[in-house]
Chain A
Amino acid sequence: MTDNAQTVRYVRETMIPPSEPPLTEQGAVKWMRENLFSGWKNSLLSILSIYVLAKLLISMVPWFWNSVWTAGSLNECRETLAVLDGLNTHGGACFAVISDRWLQLLFGFYPAESYWRPILVFVLMFVALAPILFSARLPKQMLWFSILFPFIGTWLLWGGSFWLPVLVIIGFVVGAIGFAVGGRVAGTFGALTLGVLGAALWWMVAMPAANNALHKAVALSRIDATKAELVEALATNPEQIKAIEAEQATLQEQINAMTAEKDALVVEMLAAREAGSEPSSEQKAAFEAIMDELMVARRQNTALGFSAFKLQQQVSDANGLLANIQALPQWEADLPKAIATAAELDAALPAGMHNLVSVNQVPAGTPAEVVDTLRAYLDADTAVLNLQANIETAYERLGVLGLTPVTSRDFGGFMLAMIIGVAGIVLSLPLGILLALARQANLPIVKGFAVAFIEIIRGVPLIVWLFTASLLLNYFLPPRTSFDLVLRVVIMVTLFAAAYIAEVIRGGLAALPKGQFEAADSLGLDYWKSMRLIVLPQALKISIPGIVNTFIGLFKDTTLVGIIGLLDPLNLSNSIRAAAEWNGVYWELFVFIGLLFFVSCFSMGRYSLWLEKKLQRGHR
């Protein structure tokens, strides 16, 4: 301590109490001063942005405000706008197209009487996701439903017999048993081999056999009842169709009358506008009333047309099925004979020619009669396969016990985007984690495979992969196997997203201090345990923004499936525009589709923010 005259001993005995901040440092004034007008440059920028914002709102709000929701076509929208508000086409939106076609935009061509199925799946999806998304607040037992949901959901959407999901689940059980047994006998390698082999054998051999047997049993048990039903449908449906058509004719007359009335009113009101005066409020009310009536009548007409179409479809289905039932005994009698013929011809072939699948493959200099035998054998083989396929399909159609099957071709709209998006998201996360771990592994082959996979998948546009899924995959698959287009697209989208997610997670892994790995090791945790308990929880937490970013991208990319002919919402908007009534409607459809996607993506983003906040653990 220096000896300084200025140094006086001082001890504070009372603390100064806190006092109010000055007025300019409180409330809205403070906020505006700090955030909008903190200097002349910032003030200028603030005023400019407010001006731009106001301009935008002024031009957009009336378009939404004056929108027309009740109209049967774009022309009627324009009429309504002109008559009621005296506006041109750009003065208001024609959301009538949405009220007319929203179901189609949501479900594509999914049969209307089965809309409850995708809706139920949508609701169940939240039940299944809830215990995963909010694990701390919900009981763990709910996860059982989450595990079963993919099977239930698939069955509900595509329909078919109720035992199908059960048979698929049994495959997983077989795989698990194989895994356990193999693990006891030959370690990890044995477990993996036996598990995969067991499940694959079940799905490819046992499951189709069991499925066919069940269908056959059901079909045979009720074949007489089915026949009676079909015959009755054939007898009664034509009359019903006629009745409906008569009803439609009268309705159409009414619609025509109403349209004429409306047109007259429109001419009258437009004349008034020409003359410079506003149409009277009675006229406006009359116009609105007649438009409402007209819409009701048209909807009724569409519904009638729809039921007539259904009845017609039943008739053609019944004809086909009855033909099948009649042909079945003959097919079943022919099958053993065909098999015998094929076997005989096969035996007659010289060695080395049994594997050929075309006469073009015979080596040069083969005698003509051998070529003929081969041709006969190939024909016989095809006949056998055709007979088998015919019998199988017939029993399957007759023996469905559950929900009416719906083909992937009828899937479309936002439902399709949800199916592909959700399946892709759910499947790509675990795959991405495995890829990220593989890329970090010390095993050169595993690592090389992961790197090659990630780089190849990332380096090629998604559209190319989608084309691969829809066209090229058939070349790589064994002949006569084909699987569902939507499933193929889901696989491609999953692989694509997984490559991105792997890289995002690799970033998370790299951000973890090396000490975390060492601490886990030093406690004696093995590789998988230290990954599961220590490394991945932290790495995934760091990667949440990137992962959700990838998910959002994946979800929006589902609109690309339109390019390979699936009916995504954008593709549907094209086909809606192709209808004469709605030719020329663009913005309204895009606004609606955009809104659907925005709501989904925005909720994902919000969830990720919430999760990040929840997982915050004090300062580091």
Chain B
Amino acid sequence: MSELAIERQIDRSHMTISDEVAIQINNMNKWYGQFHVLRDINLTVQRGERIVICGPSGSGKSTLIRCINRLEEHQSGDIIVDGTELTSDLKNIDKIRSEVGMCFQHFNLFPHLTILENCTLAPIWVRKVPRKEAEDIAMHYLEKVKIPDQAHKYPGMLSGGQQQRVAIARSLCMKPRIMLFDEPTSALDPEMIKEVLDTMIELAEEGMTMLCVTHEMGFAQAVANRVIFMDQGQIIEQNEPHAFFNDPQSDRTKLFLSQILGH
């Protein structure tokens, strides 16, 4: 629950939001057994949007973004990603997953493969890119996240921050159109959070469509164009960041913000 002030200048020239719909969620519901995790979720994400989802633990925010690439199955309503509806059709699911990148709280790098192999695996086996080309792409993104010199090490030899940056590079190697972040900095030491946030800000500056579940309110203020607050499986409030933080409408949001911002 740390709040790091973002001090750098942010280049907003490419942060444009187009009219094109990237993700459309209509009346989506999800249950774990008898437990109603997500209730009547309606959400439209425009291409180029940077959305931060926050809320207390157990509010269903992780489950929501995990539904978008069907790591979790929803039971009613529809989710349309990039014009393709998520059904149980495996072909559609694999297609959507290869277009939607995801970063996890615990990085989930493949420990038996080198950093470079982690990054080239999906392009080679899913996109059928030739190995040489895939390696060039991987090195390009590893340079972008500033760890090209670690390419031939194994994930276990890297620090947490470095691993999370590799995980971001691994997703980017698939050239995704949407990126999902599931609490990317929650498992990191404070000094490593900054390097991961920097990488995410750079990604935002390039105009990537992003959905981030995070408690980094500094990041939300600096980069997001919309902040969504969830509680008990429902979207309670959403607004642009300035208004969200300075003038929250619901009592639940006010309480949450007062706790997380530590006033």
Q: A519-B104, A519-B108, A523-B174 are in contact. Are A618 and B69 (CB under 8 A)?
A: no
| Inter-chain contact A523/B71, CB cutoff 8 Å | no
The one of B90, B110, B156, B157 in contact with A519, judged by C-beta atoms closer than 8 angstroms, is B110
Report the minimum CB–CB distance from B92 to chain A (whole Å). Answer: 11
Q: Does A12 contact B (CB under 8 A)?
A: no
- Is the beta-carbon distance between A526 and B106 smaller than 8 angstroms? no
Question: A284 → chain B, closest Cβ, in Å?
Answer: 65
- What residues of B have a CB within 8 angstroms of the CB of A538 in the complex? 110-112
- A609-620 CB mask vs B (1 if < 8 Å, else 0) is 000000101111
A516 to B156, CA, bound (A): 14
CB closest residue in chain A, given B153: A618
- Separation of A541 and B110 alpha carbons in the complex (Å): 13
Contacting residues, chain A, for B174 (C-beta < 8 A) = 523-524
- Distance A577 CA – B126 CA, assembled complex (angstroms): 64
Residues from chain B with a CB closer than 8 A to the CB of A617 are 111-112, 154-156
Q: Are the CB atoms of A533 and B121 closer together than 8 Å?
A: yes
Is the CB–CB distance between B98 and A515 below 8 Å? no
Whether B157 lies near A618 (C-beta < 8 A) is yes
B91-124: CB near A (< 8 Å → 1, else 0) gives 0001101101110101011111000000001100
CA A619 – CA B159 in complex, angstroms? 11
Report if A529 contacts B (CB, 8 A).
yes
The residue that B94 contacts in the complex, of A513, A524, A533, with Cβ under 8 A, is: A524
- B125: interface (CB < 8 Å): yes
B125 contact from A518, A519, A529, A541, Cβ within 8 A: A529
B126–A518 contact, CB under 8 A? no
User: What is the minimal beta-carbon distance from B126 to any residue of chain A, in angstroms?
Assistant: 5
When distances are taken between beta carbons in the complex, the residues of chain B under 8 Å from A523 are 97-98, 121-122, 126, 170-171, 174
Q: Is the CB of B108 within 8 A of A515?
A: yes
0 or 1 for each of A510-544: is its CB under 8 Å from B? (1 = yes): 00010110111111111001000110011001000
A520 to B94 alpha-carbon distance, docked (Å)? 11
> Closest approach, in angstroms, between the C-beta of B94 and any C-beta of chain A?
5
Min distance, Cβ B83 to any Cβ of chain A, angstroms: 17
Contact with B along A355-395 (1 / 0, CB 8 A): 00000000000000000000000000000000000000000
In the bound complex, do residue B126 and residue A524 qualify as a contact, i.e. CB atoms below 8 Å apart? yes
Q: Quick check: A526 and B102 within 8 Å, CB to CB?
A: no
Please indicate the chain B residues that have their CB under 8 angstroms from the CB of A537 in the complex.
112
Q: Beyond A518-B71, A617-B156, A620-B156, is A526–B108 a contact (Cβ under 8 Å)?
A: no
Chain B CB within 10 A, most for which of A516, A518, A537: A518
Determine whether the beta carbon of A524 is less than 8 Å from that of B156. no
Contacts of A521 in B (CB 8 A): 69, 71, 97
Q: How far is the CB of B164 from chain A (nearest CB, A)?
A: 13
Q: Which residues of B contact A (CB under 8 A)?
A: 69, 71, 90, 94-95, 97-98, 100-102, 104, 106, 108-112, 121-122, 125-126, 153-157, 170-171, 174
Q: A513-B108, A516-B108, A620-B111 are in contact. List 15 more A-B contacts (CB 8 A).
A: A515-B106, A515-B108, A518-B108, A519-B104, A519-B108, A521-B97, A522-B71, A523-B97, A525-B94, A525-B121, A525-B125, A537-B112, A618-B153, A618-B154, A620-B156
A residues with a Cβ closer than 8 A to B are 513, 515-516, 518-526, 529, 533-534, 537-538, 541, 615, 617-620
8 residue pairs A–B, Cβ–Cβ below 8 Å: A515-B108, A521-B97, A525-B122, A533-B121, A538-B111, A615-B112, A617-B112, A617-B154
Lowest 8 A-B CB distances belong to which pairs? A524-B98, A618-B156, A519-B108, A515-B108, A523-B122, A524-B97, A522-B102, A618-B157
